[in-house]
Structure 1
Amino acid sequence: MKHMNPSRRCGMWLVLGLLLAIPGGQGVLAAPDEDVARERKVLTSKLRMLDNILFRSQRAKRVEASGDARALALLEDARSAYRQARADFDNGDLEAARQASRQSLEAVTRAFALIVDSEGLNTRAREQYRELLENIRVYEKALMDTARRKGINPGELLDQDAVEKGIREAQARADTGDYANALTTLRKVSNRVEAALSRARARETVTYALEFATPLDEYRYEYERNRSYVSLAQVLLSTAPPSMHRRIPLIKRLIEKSERQVKEAEMLREAGNVEQAIKTIELANKTIVQALRMGGLAL
């Protein structure tokens, strides 16, 4: 038996529950000939309920606004079957009316289930889209800071026009509510910016290996790197999307820990113990990088 999506089951039982909750609904198919009046009353209630679901409910309106071709076709099938049920009922053919109303119910249930699934996916995509857009801006700032510190032309690392064009395309899709495709476009932009940041970090590492004439130079380099990370962390916190709020207290604790390690490193440097100061400032950098990674940055 094919597994049914939980949201689809939920949509189906919601509609079925509404209709079966009508008094006498369970006995329609088995209604005896002598109780035609009762059967007509039950069918009247069911048809009235279908009319409300198909033409007046918010869920039907969401199907109409969704642009989902399959869901729209199913909704139209449901409405056509409803109209046939009404015609059969008015002509006194209660059996045909029952069958047509059931067909209408089955079609609208499937239509609603499609949009329930799509809306759930789109809601998650919207949250991911907003978070990824914030991360891209943080990556860009990190890239510019690194390039400025190392005297690198950012244009050598990243085609900023292409990045902005990609963001505009993603935003255009998001403005129509199509967050799933907007997210796909934005992921391509994010990959481009992250790759540029990685290249900048790689250049930074090469320069790091070549420039150190003394241990003090090495310390100063690590210290400046830490300050850059701290600035990045502040940007991350100030632009944190709602999905990251639960992680913020831990991120802040890691930042505070890094700051304590930096103070310890500074005290060691001032005391002339530069070798130990380097080890301590490197620990501080590992701590702050851990905080940034918790915030979603790939460093």
Structure 2
Amino acid sequence: MMPQSAWLSRVALAGSAVFALAGLGLAGEVELGQKLQALARLLASPTAAQIDQQGAPQAQDKLAKARALKDMADVARRQGKIGEAEQQAGEALRLVSEATVLASWRQAPIDARRARYRDLADGIAAYRDSFDEAARAKGPAAARLLDRQRLADLLAKADSHAATQRWDEANAALETALVLVENATIDLRNNDTVVYTQSFQTPRDEFRFESERYAGTFGLVQQRLKDERLAPEARRRAQSLIADAENQRSQALGLAGNGDYEKASRVLEEAQKRLLDAAQALGAL
């Protein structure tokens, strides 16, 4: 079995690689090919193999979906459907990133859990610095993409748990915070054409925004599902709502693949509502 320190380093490197790819804003057939090659390397990496073997079920599911989307993107590219392939490749990259965040550390020794806490805190600080730098360049409206009060609450919760050596709970709070700040940063860097008052220049811009909003909420809900203290009825209701949301998201991706971004955004908004209902059922809101 790989030492936890090595596993942690590989997760951190994989997360950095995914973020770097997301920040490139790649477009066009040549650049799409480069993105798909990089995605293939990530999906075949030791980090992905470790998640497949020992990761949380939610992380394994995300990798499986990322692989399926990568295959779909390859087919779309061969058929000349570059826009569809770009959408699928971008979604696959987000899923790989989320899978590394969701990788389970519940069985790790105390020292590894403490190290995980420090690395998560460092990662959050790095993403927050990156967000602040980009937001300063884009103006005050862009800064509102990050829910700073929610972030502060999560960090305070993590600090409180860490003070009593409750590393699982502390790391769960930091993992949720990392998803929050990571998605805000990627949203800010990738959506240069979005008008940040949430009016959009094109239907495709709106769909991209809704996709990333969905990904952030999905990460939050998956974190809450890891809590073994959840009431069975709350877990069942949330899982049913999540299944409905994922079905709607699949429909939205199909519509977007056919170029109907306006209708795809409406379907994805409904999926987001299902996720918010799931988050409320789990006590995350």
Shorter-normalised TM range: 0.3 to 0.5
Choose between structure 1 and 2: higher helix proportion. 1
Larger radius of gyration: 1
TM-score, normalised with respect to structure 1: 0.35
